[in-house]
């Protein structure tokens, strides 16, 4: 699966590079209060792709951190539950041991009736 993702990313990068090379026309860019004149479209495309990749990297990292925290929490809960089970099994074994050894023996007497 990871090889597929790498291949798709590589193909996308090649397509972006081809688009950038073919579009070298200078344009004026205005964003919010900033204004830049005579910027090549290829530079804008590359900057946009880089910003998009950075955003995806940040979102992916945040997701990975969230998954690891959840995994760590679940692992700790599992360890606590296993310790509790072991404690209960030990308590049950000690509670049953005296009950078995202190049980009275039942003897039957045979009476000879003639």
pLDDT digits (tens, 9 = 90+) for 8-52: 989 988 888 888 888 888 888 888 888 888 888 888 888 888 898
pLDDT digits (tens, 9 = 90+) for 55-102: 999 999 999 999 999 999 999 999 999 999 999 999 898 888 765 555
* Terminal Cα-to-Cα distance of the chain (whole angstroms): 90
Both structure tokens of 59: 């979102």
- Give the SS3 label for residue 30: strand
Give Cβ neighbours of residue 108 (< 8 Å, ≥ 6 apart). none
């Amino acid at each position: 699966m990871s090889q597929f993702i790498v291949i798709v990313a590589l193909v996308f990068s090649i397509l972006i590079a081809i688009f950038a090379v073919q579009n070298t026309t200078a344009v004026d860019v205005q964003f919010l209060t900033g204004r830049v004149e005579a910027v090549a479209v290829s530079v804008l495309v590359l900057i946009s792709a880089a910003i998009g990749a950075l955003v995806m990297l940040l979102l992916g990292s945040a997701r990975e951190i969230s998954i690891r925290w959840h995994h760590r929490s679940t692992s700790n809960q599992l360890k606590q539950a296993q310790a509790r089970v072991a404690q209960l099994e030990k308590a049950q074994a000690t509670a049953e041991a005296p009950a078995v050894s202190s049980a009275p023996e039942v003897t039957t007497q045979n009476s000879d009736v003639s």
